[in-house]
Structures are given as structure tokens and as C-alpha cells.
Amino acid sequence: MRKYLIVVSSFLIMATLGGLYAWSIFVPPLKEQIGVSTGFTQIIFGLIIGILPVAMVFGGRLLESKGPMYSGIISGILFGAGYIMAGKSGARPLFLITGIGLMSGIGTGFGYIAALSSPVKWFPQKRGLITGIATSGFGAGAIFLSFIVRELLKTGMPVSRIFMIIGITYGLIIITASLFLNDPKDTVKSTKSAEWNLDFLKDTKFWALFWGMFSGAFAGLVIIGNLKPLALYFGIDSTSAILAISSLSMGNTAGRILWGYIADRIGIQKSIRLSLIIIAILIPIYAFVKSGLLFVILSLFIGLAFGANFVLYATGASIFFGIERIGEIYPFVSFAYGIAGLTGPPAGGYAYDITGSYIYSLIISSLVAFVGSIAAIHLIKQHLTHRLPESVKEVL
């Protein structure tokens, strides 16, 4: 039963950390109660996304030498303390940046890699599905937190008090769940924690995963970052636009499990190609949808395709480089997501500012995903499979 408890614990950690995608719900109360600008609130969110992969690198090194429990506990302490600091200060700007942007961002990175790596090592034959189940919590976290915060705001509770509640509650959940994380007894621990072994940066397998993740994340984040104004531009009513945001989030959550199952059935190579082609085809359809219901349904399917980014590349890292190195290598792969986050949404927004049309945003998003599918699969097929052992070729 221990390995199933680890999966549940990983899901809980992911669900608490995944609340970061509900950040937009804090924007109106922060503007009204604290007087900060919209741009400032997005700096906080951007800092969390930007620092996450960096923190994952150091969290991965720690768990490879000491085990996932230590990374998880540090995650809970930093995440909880960051929100408590922001709340205790009355949500003053400096403490919002330091506490939520910096401290909780680092805590998120440490916790994410701990919750990702541990269950995969216990289920080596179902690594795609298990990765999907664990990371689905990260997708669902925004749904849970947005509901909780919405209800608390209805009571008139100040946003600083809500930060305090999140810090205490979520911090304790992460720490408690981390106590159950551990690796199988036969897992090899690194004895060279002081050294940086970056040999994989010279390996085309790494860059295949990196480029695939960047292109898929870029395409999806262009839509996620601009979905409501995009919907209104194409004549979709405001209610349907808001429903589309929730629909895409639910698709993102379910997609992580779905793509984990698909990867186990058809192999990682076909799964990467399929996910990128699907999102490349679906995104331009927004321009032709005039019904609010169809817009919501389309967003659901795009969310399903986007969810592949958080499963396939972690699974691919474990296949190409071995399960024992996932905590070391996957954080570097995830830098692709951070770069996509910094470039995708602004690219979509500036394309609209320059042209006055969201058509060009859709075209850019779709083209990046399509080119990414060609580039990533070319790297895998032309430079990798003939060099890999037969046991690895079977799961490609």
C-alpha cells in the first residue's frame, strides 16, 4: 500500500502548489484593497513561473542525494512562510514580491519535483499514467483554490487575511504529505551532490524534449494568457468566455491523466507528435466559432492537448535518461516551460496590439506547435532511436 499512499501524497502536494494558476482571482481585491496596478500583480505571477524551473534544479539535486521528503518539507516551509509573510504585512507590495513571488515560487519548484519524481520510481512500468495522475493535481489546484478564495471574498474578508489562511493551511498540507514521500530501497542515491553533471546538455535527446515542451507550452500559453479578450474579440459573450477559462482548466487537469495513459499505450514519440499536431490544428478553429457553447467545448479540447506538456516530457526524460535521473534532468527540460511563459502570452498580446486582430495570435501559436512537432520528432527519429537500447526503443 505504501506506493499508492505516495501517489495520493504527491497529488495533494501538486494540488496545493497548482493553486498558482488561480492567481487572477487575487487581482481585483489587490487593486481595490492595496491599490497596486494590474501590471504589478502580473509581475508577481511572472516571478513565480520564472523562478519555478530554477528552484526545481536545486530541489532535484537535493532529492537525488537525500530523497524527496527533504525537498517536500522545504517546499512546505517556504511556500507557507511566503504567504504568511505577505498576509502579515497587510499585503504590502515589497512583501508580496518577496513572500509570494520569490519564497512561494522557490517552494513550488522544490515541491513539484519531489512530488513528480517519487511516484514514478515506484511504478516504472506505468510511468506515463502515474506522471499524469500526479501532475493532474497541479492542474486541479487552480479550480480548488479559486472556489475557496471566491467564497472567502464574498464574506468581506480582506485579501491579506486570505493569504494568511492559505499560508498556514497549504504549508501544513505540503509538509505532512511530504513525510510519506520516499524512494524504493534499490534507488541509487547520488554521491556527487557537490558536482554538476551536465553531460545531458550535449545530448540531442534532451533538446528534443526541450523543443517539444517549449513549442507545446508556447502555443497553449498564448491562448491561456489571452483567452477572455480573445473570446470577446470573436463575438463570444462574457459568460461563455469565463466558462471557457474553467473549461480549459478542467481539460488541462484531465489531459494529464489521458496523455499518461496514451504514452504508455502508443509510446512517447507518437504521443509527442500527436499532442503537438492536435493543438496546432485546434487553435485556429477559434476564428470560426460563433457559438458560446462551441467556444467552451473547443477550449476543453485545447486544455486536454495542453495537459500533455506536463506528462510527456517528464516521462520522456525518465525513458531517455533513466528513472534515477529524472529529478536531475527534468528541471532543465522545464526551463522550456518558463521561457514559453515569458514569451508566449506577450507574443499573443503584442500581435493584437500591432495588428488589431487576434487572428495573427492564433497563427503564431499554431505555427510554433506545428514546427515544434516536426523538429522534436526529427531529433528523436534521426538522431536517437538507432543509438538507444532495444528496451528503450520499445517505449518510443
Domain boundaries, the chain: 2-178, 199-393
What pLDDT, on the 0 to 100 scale, is given for residue 386?
44
The second-level CATH assignment, the architecture, of 199-393 is Up-down Bundle (1.20)
Buried b (16+ CB within 10 A) or exposed e, 262-282: bbbeebbbebbbbbbbbbbeb
* Cα separation, 181 vs 68, whole angstroms: 6
* Cα separation, 73 vs 66, whole angstroms: 12
pLDDT at 145 over 90: no
pLDDT one-digit tens code per residue, 271-328? 999 999 999 999 999 999 999 999 999 999 999 999 999 889 988 888 888 877 777 7
* Cα separation, 107 vs 80, whole angstroms: 8
Of 115, 117, 224, the C-alpha closest to 174 is: 115
Query: Side-chain half-sphere of 131: how many Cα atoms within 13 Å?
Result: 33
Listed in sequence order, the DSSP H helices in the chain are 2-17, 27-29, 38-66, 68-88, 93-95, 104-122, 127-154, 159-178, 204-233, 238-266, 268-282, 292-306, 312-321, 326-333, 335-355, 359-383, 390-393
Of 96, 341, 374, the C-alpha closest to 219 is: 341
Cα 49–54–58 angle (5° rounding)?
135
pLDDT at 192 over 60: no
pLDDT one-digit tens code per residue, 72-101? 999 999 999 999 999 999 989 999 999 999
Query: Side-chain half-sphere of 281: how many Cα atoms within 13 Å?
Result: 8
Contact 247, 304 (CB under 8 A): no
Residue 57: partners with Cβ closer than 8 Å, 6 or more residues away: 109, 331, 332
Q: The domain 2-178: what is its CATH number?
A: 1.20.1250.20
What pLDDT, on the 0 to 100 scale, is given for residue 243?
83
Of 147, 191, 125, the C-alpha closest to 19 is: 147
Residue 51 cell numbers, joined = 523562478
Other residues' Cβ atoms within 10 Å of the Cβ of residue 358: 22
What pLDDT, on the 0 to 100 scale, is given for residue 193?
47
Of 78, 83, 114, 105, the C-alpha closest to 96 is: 83
Contact 132, 11 (CB under 8 A): no
What pLDDT, on the 0 to 100 scale, is given for residue 381?
67
Contact 135, 306 (CB under 8 A): no
Arithmetic mean of pLDDT, 31-35: 88
Contact 213, 333 (CB under 8 A): yes
Q: How confident is the model at residue 339 (pLDDT cuts 50, 70, 90)?
A: confident
* Cα separation, 63 vs 88, whole angstroms: 31
* Cα separation, 391 vs 219, whole angstroms: 33
What pLDDT, on the 0 to 100 scale, is given for residue 187?
59
* Cα separation, 149 vs 151, whole angstroms: 5
Arithmetic mean of pLDDT, 52-61: 86
Average pLDDT of the chain is 84
What pLDDT, on the 0 to 100 scale, is given for residue 189?
55
What pLDDT, on the 0 to 100 scale, is given for residue 384?
46
* Cα separation, 280 vs 83, whole angstroms: 38
Other residues' Cβ atoms within 10 Å of the Cβ of residue 125: 9
Q: Do domains 2-178 and 199-393 have the same CATH topology?
A: yes
What pLDDT, on the 0 to 100 scale, is given for residue 216?
94
Residue with cell 528552484: 55
Main-chain phi, psi angles of 395, to 5 degrees: -95, 5
